[in-house]
Amino acid sequence: MIATEPHRVASHLGVDAGSYDVAIRRFIPGYDAMIATVLSILDEHLGADPLVVDLGAGTGALAGAILDAIPRARVVLVDIDPTMLAVAGARVACHGRRAELRTASFFDAGALPSCDAVVASLSLHHVPERDRKRELYTRIHGALQPGGVLLSADATVHEAGPERARIFREWAAGMAAAGIGADEATALFAQWAGEDRYYPLAVELELLAAAGFAHPDCFWKQGASTVFGGFR
């Protein structure tokens, strides 16, 4: 999926591109807090005229938030799905040359230019193999300028046991508060399991360390929803 097949958010989540932004807030408890955490760290850490790469930009929600909140930043939006990238392009068009669109997979040569930050929102769980994810983190580390930062806003879930069960209970409860019933939540979890690979937070941090990030860290977590990454 990551190398040859466009990842179609419409088929994955059962919604079309235009309704994705509304749906994601029903599906992911704490979504707005995740995005706010990424923005806060970027604004505090980035210097003048920074370049940010948004991997798996989707509808451009995160990229648009960065461009709105951090006027000194430029953002390269990378996504393999041209339909989603077109939606993202319409969202960020008002920012002119501060936004650049690139149709590419995570592993394509042009996906990771030299940059000051790499961000990803609910996209890197589409890399299922540990070795492949470590390779991606290594490529990101190599693309970052010294002092650059990787911030991934994604789901981290234990492999098994009561810890995993608790996370999914909390997740379903958050969805219930947004009007999604228990049966629908169970069906959605089963559907997503066919494409998504959620690793425990400890594994993500281990992979980041193996990729060269000296002090990988968790910056925010609420149930499955997590912001983690590291500085080069």
CATH architecture under which domain 9-231 falls:
3-Layer(aba) Sandwich (3.40)
Burial (CB count within 10 angstroms: exposed 0-12, middle 13-18, buried 19+), residue 53 = buried
Name the pairing type of β-strands 144-155 and 115-121.
parallel
The helix, strand and coil proportions of the chain, stated in percent and rounded to the nearest 5, come to: 50, 20, 30
Domain ranges across the chain? 9-231
89-97, long-range: CB < 8 A, 24+ apart: 89/60, 91/59, 91/60, 91/61, 91/63, 91/64, 92/60, 92/63, 92/64, 92/67, 95/67
Query: Which residues, at least 6 apart from 33, have a Cβ–Cβ distance to it below 8 Å?
Result: 220, 222, 225
Read off the DSSP letter of residue 14.
Answer: T
From the list 121, 119, 77, the residue with the least C-alpha distance to 225 is 121
Local confidence pLDDT in tens for the 232 residues of the chain:
333 334 455 555 544 556 777 889 999 999 999 999 999 999 999 999 999 999 999 999 999 999 999 999 999 999 999 988 998 999 999 999 999 999 999 999 889 999 999 999 999 999 999 999 999 999 999 999 999 999 999 999 999 999 999 999 999 999 999 999 999 999 999 999 888 999 999 999 999 999 999 999 999 999 999 999 999 9
Name the pairing type of β-strands 115-121 and 217-222.
unpaired
